[in-house]
Amino acid sequence: MPLHRIYHPLSAFSTSDKQKISERITALYTDVGLPAFYVVVLFTPVENESFFVSGKPTDKFVRVVVQHLARQIPSEEGKKQFSEKYENVLAPFVKEKGYDWEVHVEEVPPDMWRENGLIPPIKFPEIEKEWARQNKPIPY
Amino acid sequence: MPLHRIYHPLSAFSTSDKQKISERITALYTDVGLPAFYVVVLFTPVENESFFVSGKPTDKFVRVVVQHLARQIPSEEGKKQFSEKYENVLAPFVKEKGYDWEVHVEEVPPDMWRENGLIPPIKFPEIEKEWARQNKPIPY
Amino acid sequence: MPLHRIYHPLSAFSTSDKQKISERITALYTDVGLPAFYVVVLFTPVENESFFVSGKPTDKFVRVVVQHLARQIPSEEGKKQFSEKYENVLAPFVKEKGYDWEVHVEEVPPDMWRENGLIPPIKFPEIEKEWARQNKPIPY
């Protein structure tokens, strides 16, 4: 569900950093009961000469694009809280290492979303819990 | 129009697989009369250590992001049917090879969409047919 | 804010081309008073065998995906004008070099958008001007 595309300079993250960032991102969702396997994090290294901010090549910027499908956060306050949590996740690996960064989260309607070909059980909390428990999509 | 971004492990698809997948995706649209050249499919190989599901690196997952511009599918039933057709397209190359996978389709308003600088003739079926026939954008 | 993802054949753009394209894109936004650092341009080279148009591999196509956050263009006419300006930016590097191309611009609600962890001052023109003047996000 949540898809996190992280565009970063080649040397920004070690293998261990990427591991930790993705674990911390995943916890944001499992903490509210979503299946861990919903969370996909893709790191995309971008060459200095292909990454421009202010019209200048950069190796000090991280750009994160997040897409949500399983949940639309209804309130302005809820959205704000999510962004704050997300910033806390990234901070040790981005802010505290001297990078500049930008994040945005999109909410995509889930009508044409499938996991292993199955319609995710957004409307069936009990089934969703079972998917979370087994951490895989199960026909229902 | 439809943009298909397919994020996959390095060894998931052969050149021939990619050829067949893109042909089958394209047919989904030409079957309903859209120009073939509207269909863009981008395969993005992602290193094991940059591709995380459930907070763990994976080489067994395929993530597909689709964007529609030329048509918004109006009904819930129509959207469901599209997703089913799409799953059939992917199945031989993903499901039947033991990968897990996730797909979502976004519908993007076409106001700021251009093909070779031209406004696609969404509102002009006869011109769209001509674009389809010649398989290229033609000034009108 | 505006995120420009440019998918292109390996040899489409020189380092100098990329520099010029990103400068010209940036000027579209600074001309209307937005901070230059809002503008992120990512060039993604795509191998011939992973880039399909009409179900055929291509090395003559450029696909651009733009996302706007700081401003939603309210009128149809305004959107049209933006697209025209954008086409002019790309033309010398794409059209005039014999490539086919496709562009679309998405407008993303800015609720969960952050720059260096800060809420961009969309509703505070004076602060936005200061961000533009200093070309960096400043706590307010």
pLDDT digits (tens, 9 = 90+) for A40-92: 999 999 999 999 999 999 999 999 999 999 889 999 999 999 999 999 999 99
C116 closest CB neighbour out of A100, A104, A105: A100
Q: What would the mean pLDDT of B38-63 be, rounded to a whole number?
A: 98
User: Is some CB atom of chain C closer than 8 A to the CB atom of B40?
Assistant: yes
- In this prediction, residue A52 carries a pLDDT of 98
Number of domains in chain A: 1
For residues A132 and A35, the answer to whether their CB atoms sit within 8 Å is: yes
Map residue A103 onto helix, strand or coil.
strand
- In this prediction, residue C61 carries a pLDDT of 98
Pair of tokens at residue A93: 């690996």
- In this prediction, residue C30 carries a pLDDT of 98
Domain contains A34? yes
- In this prediction, residue B29 carries a pLDDT of 98
C36 closest CB neighbour out of A46, A54, A63: A54
ipTM over 0.95: yes
Q: Is it the case that residue C39 has pLDDT exceeding 90? A: yes
- In this prediction, residue A120 carries a pLDDT of 98
- In this prediction, residue C50 carries a pLDDT of 98
Strand bridging mode A40-46 / A51-53: unpaired
Domain contains C139? no
- In this prediction, residue B60 carries a pLDDT of 98
Q: Is it the case that residue B87 has pLDDT exceeding 80? A: yes
- The answer to whether C49 contacts B15, with C-beta atoms less than 8 Å apart, is yes
Strand bridging mode B3-9 / B40-46: parallel
- In this prediction, residue A3 carries a pLDDT of 98
Domain contains C89? yes
Residue A123's pLDDT band, with cuts at 50, 70 and 90, is very high
Residues of chain B contacting residue C100, judged by C-beta atoms under 8 Å apart: 37, 116, 136
The CATH number of the domain where A61 resides is what? Answer: 3.30.429.10
Locate the chain B residue with the closest alpha carbon to C56.
B19
- In this prediction, residue A21 carries a pLDDT of 98
pLDDT tens sequence across C105-127: 999 999 999 999 999 999 999 99
Domain contains B50? yes
Locate the chain C residue with the closest alpha carbon to B13.
C50
Q: Is it the case that residue B96 has pLDDT exceeding 80? A: yes
> What distances in angstroms separate CA C130 from CA A53, C111, C135, one per listed residue?
18, 21, 8
Domain contains B139? no
- In this prediction, residue B69 carries a pLDDT of 96
Domain contains A61? yes
| b/e A16-42 (16+ beta carbons within 10 angstroms → b) | ebbbbbbbbbbebbbeeebbbbbbbbb
Q: Is it the case that residue C85 has pLDDT exceeding 90? A: yes
Residues of chain B contacting residue A19, judged by C-beta atoms under 8 Å apart: 52, 55, 57
Per cent of chain A over pLDDT 70 is 99
Could you tell me the residue range of the domain that residue C11 belongs to? 3-134
Domain contains C140? no
Domain contains C57? yes
pTM: 0.98
